[in-house]
């Protein structure tokens, strides 16, 4: 019987300095054991199967060549040092349960890659689904809850394989690029303030001729730190673009769309992650086995609800009262901000390319709105359906249509790719 391993990944230390180790529960038959991984190195040891859980004293004549340096505990005074006597970690046949997304992405990717070599598998469950099935269980027992849930209801989990690792890599590279960009912008802002101060606070009275902007441009060219940060940002952008071009979702869906480059696509791909998690299964209850029309209608309903889930996630849905969602006092704004921002940037590119396919769709939506509202209206003291309002509404409606198109094509691509994987090597990809 394979071991079920539940992993509750946590950031190792809070802002207040409180230790938050990653919790691991291993269920093998009726035996349940709990472990804690205190740092990132411990997580890598677990991936390699060499996380020490017991130590013994070093024999004076013993060679330490076979032990990892960070596993050797130095002795103090007359007390001899210690070396590991027992290890735990990922083994052949293990099934690992984790939560989808969050801080555990990199750990899940490493476990998945190691699992390819030794015959172990990693499965992840969306946080919302896990919350529904946690029940009254203590959050401190999440690792054990995950392991038992994988054993009892494996259909709730998604297999983490090479395709999922590619998405995790995109997230990491996108974050690296954003960090590099923020560092470069911060350096530019500090340099500008230094230039302004040096221009105004000169004691010799020889103020520079020309504009401060010209002095700033010269200072930028002479700043070794800024030039290094700019080079780092360019390198991070190249790495991200290269990784995105290796994705079939780029080749088949985003690449052919005029105006959508690798960086814009990466923002939306990283936010959505696994599009399968938005799927709603058709409910055939109450239908006869031969009622094909009824089953077809239920499938259509399920597809519409699936699209609606993704639209709500991206913040391009409609509220129950028909309004478009935005941040309002007293209302919940539970969409993904990065996905919504990426969509806005994408439709802005459509607006700048009116001759493209999606640029034409945007113009068509705008024309329909102008025909429906030829004159501005004053509603509750606010002017609506003026040119600016129509343009903004058309942008967001185009974003909504784009998400509907994206879900259909992306989900179909995922199903086809996994069917091909199963045909080629029999891999399990649920």
The half-sphere exposure of 107 on its side-chain side, counting CA atoms within 13 A, is 31
Same domain, 240 and 378: no
Residue 328: CB partners within 8 Å, gap ≥ 6?
Answer: none
413 occurs within a structural domain: yes
**Burial zone of 370 (CB within 10 Å; 0-12 exposed, 13-18 middle, 19+ buried):** middle
Task: Flag whether pLDDT at 232 surpasses 90.
Answer: yes
Using DSSP's 3-state secondary structure scheme, residue 295 falls into helix
Lowest mean pLDDT among 93-97, 207-211, 288-292: 207-211
Residue 148 tokens read as 């038992």
pTM equals: 0.86
Average pLDDT, the chain: 91
d(CA 18, CA 28): 31
Read off the pLDDT band of 205 (50, 70, 90). Answer: low
Using DSSP's 3-state secondary structure scheme, residue 88 falls into strand
254 occurs within a structural domain: no
Using DSSP's 3-state secondary structure scheme, residue 289 falls into coil
Same domain, 311 and 365: yes
Same domain, 9 and 156: yes
**Domain assignment of residue 216, given as a range:** 164-246
Residue 15: CB partners within 8 Å, gap ≥ 6?
Answer: none
| CATH number (domain holding residue 35) | 3.30.420
60 occurs within a structural domain: no
Residue 56 tokens read as 């013994």
Same domain, 334 and 386: yes
Same domain, 180 and 133: no
339 occurs within a structural domain: yes
pLDDT of residue 429: 38
Same domain, 28 and 114: yes
d(CA 162, CA 44): 19
269 occurs within a structural domain: no
402 occurs within a structural domain: yes
Domain final residue pick, 160, 189, 221: 160
Same domain, 297 and 404: yes
Same domain, 99 and 222: no
d(CA 378, CA 251): 46
Using DSSP's 3-state secondary structure scheme, residue 237 falls into helix
Same domain, 217 and 279: no
pLDDT of residue 145: 96
With contact defined as beta carbons under 8 Å apart, do 82 and 58 qualify? Answer: yes
With contact defined as beta carbons under 8 Å apart, do 158 and 100 qualify? Answer: yes
DSSP string, 324-354: PP---TTS---S-HHHHHHHHHHHHHHHH-T
Same domain, 320 and 233: no
Task: Flag whether pLDDT at 290 surpasses 50.
Answer: yes
Pairing of strands 95-99, 377-379: unpaired
pLDDT higher at 210 or 368:
368
Report CA Rg, the chain. 28
pLDDT of residue 422: 59
pLDDT, one tens digit per residue, over 111-131 is 999 999 999 999 999 888 999
Domain final residue pick, 145, 160, 175: 160
Task: Flag whether pLDDT at 216 surpasses 50.
Answer: yes
pLDDT of residue 21: 94
68 occurs within a structural domain: no
Same domain, 401 and 291: yes
CA–CA distance from 385 to each of 328, 344, 389, 394 (Å)? 20, 20, 5, 11
Task: Flag whether pLDDT at 191 surpasses 90.
Answer: yes
Same domain, 173 and 155: no
Domain tally, the chain = 3
pLDDT of residue 47: 98
153 occurs within a structural domain: yes
């Amino acid at each position: 019987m394979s071991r079920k391993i539940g992993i509750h990944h946590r950031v190792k230390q809070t802002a207040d300095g409180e230790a938050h180790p990653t919790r691991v529960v291993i269920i093998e038959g009726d035996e349940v054991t709990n472990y804690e991984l205190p740092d990132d190195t411990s997580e890598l040891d677990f991936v390699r199967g060499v996380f020490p859980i017991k130590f013994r004293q070093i024999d004076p004549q013993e060679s330490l060549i076979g032990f990892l340096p960070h596993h050797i505990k130095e002795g103090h005074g007359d007390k001899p040092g210690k070396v590991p006597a027992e290890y735990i970690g990922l083994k052949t046949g293990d099934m690992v349960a984790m939560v989808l997304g969050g801080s555990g992405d990199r750990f899940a990717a490493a476990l998945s890659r190691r699992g390819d070599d030794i015959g172990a598998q990693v499965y992840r469950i969306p946080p919302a689904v896990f919350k529904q099935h946690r029940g009254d269980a203590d959050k401190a027992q999440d690792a054990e809850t995950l392991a038992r849930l994988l054993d009892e209801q494996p259909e709730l989990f998604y297999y983490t394989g090479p395709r999922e690792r590619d998405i995790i890599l995109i997230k990491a590279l996108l974050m690296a690029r954003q960090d590099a960009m923020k560092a470069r912008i911060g350096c530019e802002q500090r340099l500008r303030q230094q230039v302004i101060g040096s221009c105004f606070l000169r004691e010799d009275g020889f103020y520079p001729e020309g504009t401060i902007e010209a002095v700033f441009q010269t200072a930028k060219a002479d700043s070794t730190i800024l030039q290094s940060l700019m080079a780092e940002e360019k390198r991070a952008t190249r790495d991200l673009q290269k990784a995105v071009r290796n994705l079939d979702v780029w080749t088949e869906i985003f690449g052919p769309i005029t105006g959508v480059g690798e960086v814009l696509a990466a923002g939306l791909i990283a936010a959505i992650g696994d599009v399968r998690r938005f799927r709603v299964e058709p409910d055939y209850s109450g239908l006869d086995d031969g009622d094909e029309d009824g089953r077809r209608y239920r499938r259509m309903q399920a597809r519409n609800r699936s699209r609606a889930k993704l639209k709500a996630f991206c913040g391009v849905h409609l509220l129950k009262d028909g309004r478009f969602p935005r941040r309002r006092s007293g209302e919940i704004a539970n969409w993904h901000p990065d996905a919504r921002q990426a969509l806005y940037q994408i439709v802005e590119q459509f607006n700048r390319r009116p001759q493209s396919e999606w640029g034409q769709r945007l113009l068509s939506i705008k024309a329909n709105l102008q025909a429906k509202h030829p004159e501005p209206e004053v509603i509750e003291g606010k002017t609506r359906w003026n040119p600016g309002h129509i343009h903004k509404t058309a942008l967001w409606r185009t974003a909504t249509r784009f998400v509907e198109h994206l879900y259909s094509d992306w989900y179909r691509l995922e199903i086809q790719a996994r069917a091909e994987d199963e045909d080629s090597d029999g891999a399990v990809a649920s």
